[in-house]
Amino acid sequence: EPEVTQTPSHQVTQMGQEVILRCVPISNHLYFYWYRQILGQKVEFLVSFYNNEISEKSEIFDDQFSVERPDGSNFTLKIRSTKLEDSAMYFCASSHRDYSYEQYFGPGTRLTVT
Amino acid sequence: ILNVEQSPQSLHVQEGDSTNFTCSFPSSNFYALHWYRWETAKSPEALFVMTLNGDEKKKGRISATLNTKEGYSYLYIKGSQPEDSATYLCASIMDSNYQLIWGAGTKLIIKP
């Protein structure tokens, strides 16, 4: 069964460094998402992406964040200058069609900013 | 600030018993309600996506209902099994911004 994959599973970085989190969505899916969960808190929506552009983004998704689908298979989340408060589990998801369809989640990347 | 609330926060249920829990969400501008099952060390797994008031969906022993006018959904598990132990998350989408707003989850523990 197709699944969403994410790399790396754990990333440790120093404050101020740039990180790129990678995701490979399910191949025939059209909508892509990034979420994060800070330890002990709710899952938070970051951004959705469709047709090679951002569809929706939350207040969390400021100028420090960007997303890209560089080659038709990967979907990346870049954080330009990480802060301590960016430490969280980051989940990528994809869905066949729009927001009224099930989303399939990857296993997550745990980002630790020191 | 829009909020999705789930209750109870955690629940211990004897194997074989049936149980249910609640998700409350903003009723205005409702678009869709998602239920996910999240086992420790795994990814959230989609259970249901519901869009119509009065909708009822079923997958095996798990079912869900939706009331969009009053802003709540119930998830039911019939004849709980140990493998049902997980955190059950709901998330609501409004048609004003199409962002999935998540509840904190109900952690279900099935006692053998």
Contact A13, A6 (CB under 8 A): no
Relative to beta strand A31-37, strand A43-50 is antiparallel
Q: Decide if pLDDT at B106 tops 80.
A: yes
> Mean pLDDT in chain B?
95
Q: What token pair was written down for B30?
A: 């409702």
Q: Would you say residue B1 has pLDDT above 60?
A: no
> Is B2 an interface residue toward A (CB < 8 Å)?
no
Where does the pLDDT of residue B40 fall: very low under 50, low under 70, confident under 90, or very high at 90 and above? Answer: confident
Whether residues A108 and B43 touch (CB distance < 8 A) is answered with yes
Residue in chain A lying closest to B90 (CA):
A43
Burial of residue A73 (number of CB atoms within 10 Å: 0-12, 13-18, 19+): exposed
Of the two residues B47 and A98, the one the predictor is more confident about is B47
Tell me what the mean pLDDT of segment A20-34 comes to: 95
Give contacts of B36 with chain A, Cβ < 8 Å.
105
Backbone angles phi, psi at A52, to 5 degrees: 65, 25
| Chain A residue at shortest CA distance from B100 | A45
pLDDT of residue B96: 82
Nearest to B49 among A44, A102, A106 (CB): A102
